[in-house]
Amino acid sequence: MPPSFPVVSWSAVAPQVIVLGVGCLLLLFDLVPPRGRKAHLGVIGLFGLLAALGGSLLLWGEDTRAFREMIALDRFALFFNVIFCVATALVLMLSMDSLPRRGAERGEYYALVLFAVLGMMLMASGTDLIVIFLGLELMSLCLYVLAGFLYRQALRSSESALKYFLLGAFATGFFLYGIALIYGATGSTNLEKVSRLLAQAGPGRDPMLFIGFGLLLVGFGFKTASVPFHMWVPDVYQGAPTAVTALIATASKAAAFAGLLRVLLGAIGPDWRGLLWGLAFLTMTVGNVVAIAQGNLKRMLAYSSVAHAGYMLVALVTASPEGAAGILFYLLVYTFANVGAFGAILLLERGGEEAVEIADYAGLGSRHPALALCLTLFMLSLIGIPPLGGFMGKFYIFAAAIRGGYVWLAILGVLNSVVASYYYLRLIVYMYMREPEGATVERLPSFPAATALAIALWGTIQLGLYPAPIFELARSAVLPLFR
Amino acid sequence: MRVGLLTLVTFVPALGAVLLVCLPRRRDGLLRAVAFGVATLDFLLSLALYFRFNPGNPGMQFVERARWMPGFGVSYVLGIDGISLLLVLLATLLTALALLSAWTAIRDRLKEFLVTVLLLETGMLGVFVALDLFLFYIFWEAMLIPMYFLIGVWGGERKIYAAIKFVLYTMTGSVLMLLAILALYFHHGGQTGQYTFDLLTLQQTTLPPRTQVWLFLAFALAFAIKVPMVPFHTWLPDAHVEAPTAGSVLLAGVLLKMGTYGFLRFCLPLFPHASIQFTPVIAWLAIIGIIYGAWVAMVQPDLKKLVAYSSVSHLGFVMLGLFALNLQGIEGGLLQMVNHGLSTGALFLLVGMIYERRHTRLIEEFGGLWRVLPVFSSLFLVVTLSSIGLPGLNGFVGEFLILVGIFQVKILWAVLATSGIIFAAVYMLWMYQRAIFGPIRHDANRFLTDLSFREVAVLAPIIVLIVWIGVYPKPFLSVTEASVSALVNQVQAKIAQAR
């Protein structure tokens, strides 16, 4: 009797396979000469991501399940693959020159980044709680290491990694416990089965299921940086190498939202709305209000990223296709603007240190007009000023909220964006309206980073002026979740 | 897509801004000339609008349509009628004059300044010509940023405070308006199945009274902050005083009109019921604004602050006229918008000119200027009298029409509003007397040079218009009449229909 091999549908995981392969390749290349110079690894990683991006685009329109219904290859996963690849490619471009300058270039960096992307992709494509958990862990473990990558140069980096790890481990514990309870209640970890059983049993009736989902929400709340699970955010963002911060703030947040959407939209009942409503409101408000008080730009962006998670939760509350599509679109514009902002920080140096205090930016407008203009546009996009991408993102989200009848949440949301405009504009105040004091800010020459900024700027403007095609894609991407 | 005249008028300044960015930084003269040239070209283009405008047609003219986001019902729709035509002309004229007035005043970061002013012009024009609510909102919000930079970068001592206050106030109102726009959109879509932001289509919707009230309030808050109506006016003195002269001129001359224009273009036709319902509230707030603005203006030691508070008072008049909801009131309000743009714009220009010479704006620092600066003083006199509303000058015509309009509605309001004219005479003439007449009290004033040719050239067009509108307002009123009476009929019909 011939041995039977399980059928592996490789095509369903093609982007993941590419990323995994390139990641392993990077580990291998790290060992061969030339030693000491690692820039080529970054280039290889970049090409790997572009290949995965291209693969995802080519696969657009596919809708298959594989690995015993544990992995889905649908538009939802592919859309997120695009976000991950774009964000990570930009981050790699930012890292190429900045890592050696900080004396922290080791080959593992690029491999870890790619493995993190693999984890994110698994989260977006998993249709089984276990796969989502595996993806989450793979991504998180890589990010913990990456956050501490400057451990020799800066104590803060170690602190960042340790905090991220400890709190992350807690969140993982909650997450896993949640899965266990759900499994106990339903006998399955498959999302479709779980949501079917949930619908039959009536939402929220079974306390075990309720608590299980609550614990999952805690885990996702941690990864999406939602209040009250946001405590790690400022320290981790501040201490991690800036490129890694950009990765944590954009791609990993996107991955967490991907998982959240997959898990919750199928299983969410009306009794979750109230809880999510409160979560969204708190996340927006706390993030924005605390961001006002920050003098450190990275911390400010950290709290602002909390607030942005809040806006996306507003759309999640509606549990409608428009809202979910709004989240996807928002994640994309948010990625461009945030990677751009962190990229600009990374390019500026004052007295040999990265310029992270807002006061360092005084007079930037006349000293480095192009960079200041880029940063200004990113800030304006984050506020949501038309005609930039951020405005369209907010527009879609609040449109979904109004349509769903969540008028008060929408009102609180837009008022929050007024509060947010205060601290974003404060950076602009420093750049254009105050005179510099002390040592001057230098701009580091870096071609890849400048290219990354240009791409981010293009994305920000393009998505603002002509958002319709991408939004339509997002709309078709969320349809698999509403079957 | 064929580029129409309105698109051209709206985007020529933005193109000019792009051109300026490409020019070398050091060539100051060239930069100034190009910017002024672009603004003048735009003014000439808008004059073409005036001459090709058909005053007999009450509807939208020069309409342009293009698809933008078909999935969401957003399109690019531009058009003007008698209500917006004069405001477009006002915006193009004042921008050109503001650029000319800043010829010597702005030396720091000149290129950025010129780019900002031109971008602001595109934003302002877009607000007046957009007929798609989404497009309108984009212009409305985008225009904030250039103004923010104008105040914040080239402003006075407290510029940062003033700039941020301006943005926060305006944004608070406008984000709520965005939600109201969305609510209107979904309501209309739910009713008719046609999801669109097109203003002319949305005007056909009939909203239930309760919804109307909420949406009206959201729109009205955004516009009331912009006008500004008491009690949302506190950003205005700061912003006006700290802004550079060109910024103050555009702020007072054009930006404030966006608020009153918004009431006229959006609140009245979209929410006629709520408008009627809230007329007493708005009228009383307007009257409070008229009197309060005048009283506060009276005691200002600073010329620019005085002019700023006088704006609160004048805009109260405009609002009162609009909410008389009859032909005379609205036409008067519309004309008064233009008048205020001209006379207050000119006042800010004059204050800027004297500030450039003396580096102070305190009234007590002046006195006896009549002897040293005869040209300045006489032009100042004309503008002062226009602002008071002297018969024969433009202010009188507008105020008179407004009073005729409001008198038909409620006599008490007309009586109270009239007192505002008297107060205006008090604070303006008293200011003029202290600053211009009397002996020369400060030696620094003894050797001031009178206005240069350029400065006279800045003021001359405004003075001509002030006299022209005052003596023969027909060409200005006739273009507005058809559209305004159509608007009044539309509002009345909707109310009658609902009853």
* Average pLDDT value for chain A: 90
- Average pLDDT, integer, range B198-203: 89
Interface test with B, best of A398, A418, A470 (most B CBs within 10 A): A418
Q: Touching check for A386 and chain B: CB below 8 Å?
A: yes
Q: Touching check for A425 and chain B: CB below 8 Å?
A: yes
What the block records as the tokens of A322 is 């428009």
- Residue B262: pLDDT band (50, 70, 90) is very high
Do residue B221 and residue B337 come from a single domain? Answer: no
- Residue A209: pLDDT band (50, 70, 90) is confident
The secondary element (H helix, E strand) that includes residue A72 is strand A71-73
The secondary element (H helix, E strand) that includes residue A337 is helix A321-347
B113, closest residue in chain A (CA to CA):
A432
Q: Touching check for B69 and chain A: CB below 8 Å?
A: yes
| Chain B residues lying within 8 Å of A425, measured CB to CB | 148, 164, 167
Q: Touching check for A399 and chain B: CB below 8 Å?
A: yes
The CB-side HSE value for B210 (13 A sphere, CA atoms) comes to 0
In single-letter form, the type of residue at position A390 comes to G
The CB-side HSE value for B339 (13 A sphere, CA atoms) comes to 37
Choose among B69, B163, B179: nearest Cβ to A398.
B179
Q: Do B153 and A432 touch (CB under 8 A)?
A: yes
- Average pLDDT, integer, range A222-240: 92
Q: Say how many C-beta atoms besides its own lie within 10 A of residue A10's C-beta.
A: 10
- Average pLDDT, integer, range A289-304: 94
Q: Write out residues 146-185 of B within 8 Å (CB-CB) of A.
A: 148-149, 152-153, 159-160, 163-164, 167-168, 171-172, 175-176, 178-179, 182-183, 185
Q: Which residue has the tokens 């918008």?
A: B337
Least confident span in A29-33, A43-47, A420-424? A29-33
Closest CA to B297 of B468, B430, B416: B430
Classify residue B265 by its DSSP letter. I
Do residue B243 and residue B290 come from a single domain? Answer: no
- Residue B1: pLDDT band (50, 70, 90) is low
Q: Please give the Cα distance from A63 to A352 (Å, whole number).
A: 51
Q: Touching check for A37 and chain B: CB below 8 Å?
A: no
Do residue B365 and residue B457 come from a single domain? Answer: yes
Q: Which pLDDT value is given to residue B150? A: 92
Q: Do A429 and B168 touch (CB under 8 A)?
A: no
Q: Please give the Cα distance from A276 to A260 (Å, whole number).
A: 12
Q: Do A421 and B163 touch (CB under 8 A)?
A: no
State how far residue A426 is from chain B, nearest Cα, in angstroms: 8
B180, closest residue in chain A (CA to CA):
A402
Q: Please give the Cα distance from A236 to A306 (Å, whole number).
A: 13
What the block records as the tokens of A159 is 């602190």
Tell me the count of A-B CB pairs closer than 8 A: 81
Q: Point out the domain boundary residue: B242, B270, B298.
A: B270
Find the length of chain B. Answer: 499
pLDDT tens readout for residues B106-146: 888 889 999 999 999 999 999 999 999 999 999 999 899 99
Q: Do B164 and A415 touch (CB under 8 A)?
A: no
The secondary element (H helix, E strand) that includes residue A66 is strand A64-66
State how far residue B336 is from chain A, nearest Cα, in angstroms: 31
State how far residue B259 is from chain A, nearest Cα, in angstroms: 19
Q: Which pLDDT value is given to residue A267? A: 66
Are β-strands B61-69 and B74-80 bridged in parallel, bridged antiparallel, or unpaired? antiparallel
Q: Touching check for A199 and chain B: CB below 8 Å?
A: no
- Residue B280: pLDDT band (50, 70, 90) is very high
Q: Please give the Cα distance from A72 to A470 (Å, whole number).
A: 22
> What percentage of chain B carries pLDDT values higher than 70?
99
Do residue B224 and residue B287 come from a single domain? Answer: no
Rounded to whole angstroms, what are the CA distances from B210 to A147, A359, A410, B206, B217? 54, 49, 19, 12, 11
Q: Is the pLDDT of residue A211 over 60?
A: yes
The CB-side HSE value for A478 (13 A sphere, CA atoms) comes to 27
Upstream peptide bond of A228 is cis (omega within 30 degrees of 0): yes
The CB-side HSE value for B260 (13 A sphere, CA atoms) comes to 36
Q: Is the pLDDT of residue A185 over 70?
A: yes
ipTM of the complex: 0.92
State how far residue A407 is from chain B, nearest Cα, in angstroms: 8
Q: Residues B103-140, buried b or exposed e (16+ Cβ, 10 A)?
A: beebeebbbbbbbbbbbbbbbbbbbbbbbbbbbbbbbb
Closest CA to B13 of B91, B108, B130, B105: B91
Q: Say how many C-beta atoms besides its own lie within 10 A of residue B217's C-beta.
A: 17
Upstream peptide bond of A34 is cis (omega within 30 degrees of 0): yes
Do residue B386 and residue B440 come from a single domain? Answer: yes
Q: Say if CB B128 and CB B86 are below 8 A apart.
A: no
Closest CA to B391 of B487, B322, B470: B470
Are β-strands A353-354 and A441-443 bridged in parallel, bridged antiparallel, or unpaired? unpaired
Domain range spanning residue B300? 271-499
Burial of B408 per CB tally in 10 Å (0-12, 13-18, 19+): middle
State how far residue B183 is from chain A, nearest Cα, in angstroms: 6
| Chain A residues lying within 8 Å of B149, measured CB to CB | 432
Q: Point out the domain boundary residue: B270, B305, B326.
A: B270
Q: Touching check for B213 and chain A: CB below 8 Å?
A: no
- Average pLDDT, integer, range A258-277: 81
Q: Please give the Cα distance from B466 to B344 (Å, whole number).
A: 11
Q: Which residue has the tokens 């001459």?
A: B51
Q: Point out the domain boundary residue: B270, B290, B307.
A: B270
Closest CA to B251 of B183, B171, B149, B353: B149
Do residue B237 and residue B297 come from a single domain? Answer: no
| Chain A residues lying within 8 Å of B153, measured CB to CB | 365, 432-433
Interface test with B, best of A311, A380, A429 (most B CBs within 10 A): A429
A431, closest residue in chain B (CA to CA):
B153
| Chain A residues lying within 8 Å of B168, measured CB to CB | 418, 421-422
Find the length of chain A. Answer: 483
B138, closest residue in chain A (CA to CA):
A386
Q: Touching check for B457 and chain A: CB below 8 Å?
A: no
Do residue B63 and residue B18 come from a single domain? Answer: yes
Q: Do A418 and B141 touch (CB under 8 A)?
A: no
At residue A95's C-alpha, the angle toward residues A89 and A100, to 5°, is 150
Q: Please give the Cα distance from A15 to B65 (Å, whole number).
A: 42
Q: Which pLDDT value is given to residue B491? A: 87
Q: Please give the Cα distance from B300 to B285 (Å, whole number).
A: 22
- Average pLDDT, integer, range A270-284: 87
Do residue B193 and residue B294 come from a single domain? Answer: no
Q: Please give the Cα distance from A374 to B146 (Å, whole number).
A: 16
Contacts of B27 (CB under 8 A, 6+ apart): none
State how far residue B36 is from chain A, nearest Cα, in angstroms: 24
Q: Do A386 and B137 touch (CB under 8 A)?
A: yes
Q: Which pLDDT value is given to residue A324? A: 93
pLDDT tens readout for residues A187-202: 888 888 888 777 776 6
| Chain B residues lying within 8 Å of A414, measured CB to CB | 175-176, 178-179
Q: Which pLDDT value is given to residue A202? A: 60
Q: Do A467 and B71 touch (CB under 8 A)?
A: no
Quote the distance between the C-alpha of residue B298 and its chain's center.
23
Q: Say if CB A129 and CB A191 are below 8 A apart.
A: yes
Q: Is the pLDDT of residue A203 over 70?
A: no
Do residue B297 and residue B240 come from a single domain? Answer: no
| Chain A residues lying within 8 Å of B164, measured CB to CB | 422, 425-426, 429
| Chain A residues lying within 8 Å of B179, measured CB to CB | 398, 402, 407, 410-411, 414
Q: Please give the Cα distance from A142 to A144 (Å, whole number).
A: 5
Do residue B277 and residue B255 come from a single domain? Answer: no
Classify residue B69 by its DSSP letter. E
What the block records as the tokens of B288 is 């409070």
At residue B466's C-alpha, the angle toward residues B464 and B470, to 5°, is 115
- Residue B186: pLDDT band (50, 70, 90) is very high
Choose among A407, A421, A428: nearest Cβ to B168.
A421
Q: Do B148 and A425 touch (CB under 8 A)?
A: yes
Do residue B303 and residue B228 come from a single domain? Answer: no
Q: Please give the Cα distance from B122 to B28 (Å, whole number).
A: 23
Q: Which pLDDT value is given to residue A366? A: 85
pLDDT tens readout for residues B34-60: 999 999 999 999 999 999 999 888 889
Q: Please give the Cα distance from B362 to B304 (Å, whole number).
A: 9
Choose among B69, B72, B145: nearest Cβ to A385.
B145
Q: Do A468 and B176 touch (CB under 8 A)?
A: no
Q: Please give the Cα distance from A325 to A124 (Å, whole number).
A: 14
Q: Do A386 and B163 touch (CB under 8 A)?
A: no
Q: Say if CB B98 and CB B342 are below 8 A apart.
A: no
Choose among B68, B160, B171: nearest Cβ to A421.
B171
Q: Please give the Cα distance from B261 to B483 (Å, whole number).
A: 13
The CB-side HSE value for B252 (13 A sphere, CA atoms) comes to 36
- Average pLDDT, integer, range A362-370: 88
Choose among B71, B176, B186: nearest Cβ to A411.
B176
**Cα-trace Rg, chain B:** 22
pLDDT tens readout for residues A35-56: 777 778 889 999 999 999 999 9
3-state helix/strand/coil string of A19-44: HHHHHHHHHHHHHCCCCCCCHHHHHH
**DSSP characters over B410-464:** -HHHHHHHHHHHHHHHHHHHHHHHHHHSS----GGGTT-----HHHHHHHHHHHH
Do residue B278 and residue B266 come from a single domain? Answer: no
Q: Touching check for B217 and chain A: CB below 8 Å?
A: no
What the block records as the tokens of B341 is 């743009």
Sign of the CA dihedral with B70 first, then B74, B76, and B79 last: positive
Q: Do B137 and A398 touch (CB under 8 A)?
A: no
Number of separate domains in chain B: 2
State how far residue A447 is from chain B, nearest Cα, in angstroms: 22
